[in-house]
Amino acid sequence: NDVSARRVLHQFFGKRDVVNTIVDTIAPLFDVNSGFTTSKSLGVRRGDNAQMVKLELIKKPATMGTFKSPKAKPAKAKAVKPAAKKAVTKPAPKTAEKKVAKKAPTKKAPAKKESAKKATKATKK
């Protein structure tokens, strides 16, 4: 019942409520150093012929069930009547409008540096 033991259990199980249940309800039943479980042979598994074993705790808590905390039962939902279907109206046809397609602006070709240099040299002479 210390922090390091809880952290080790949390690494394995991954849920805080499972760790709390183990530490608070199951661990106090065992005040021995070993002999916590028994194993019963179930035979071999069909398919891969693996040996199957049922692992059980020697002492079981008085209340068996899930590790989940009890939740309040949801209230009964009232019967909802289906909504009446609305009449579908078609939109009025639009007046004849001409759509003008906008053209994307064209990029100007960059001026060549060499021709600009030649022109400046010619004017300097």
Under DSSP, the state recorded for 30 is -
- Alpha-carbon distances of 107 from 18, 66, 110, rounded to whole Å: 67, 70, 9
Question: Could you tell me where the beta strands, DSSP code E, fall in 13-96?
Answer: 37-44, 51-57
d(C-alpha 112, C-alpha 110), whole Å = 6
Residue 121 token pair? 């040299």
Check residue 44 and give its pLDDT: 96
- Span 57-82, pLDDT tens digits: 887 766 666 656 666 666 665 666 66
- Span 15-45, pLDDT tens digits: 888 899 888 888 887 777 777 888 999 999 9
Check residue 59 and give its pLDDT: 77
Contact 92, 61 (CB under 8 A): no
Radius of gyration of the chain (CA): 40
Rounded to two decimals, the pTM is 0.34
Q: To the nearest whole number, what is the mean pLDDT of the chain?
A: 74
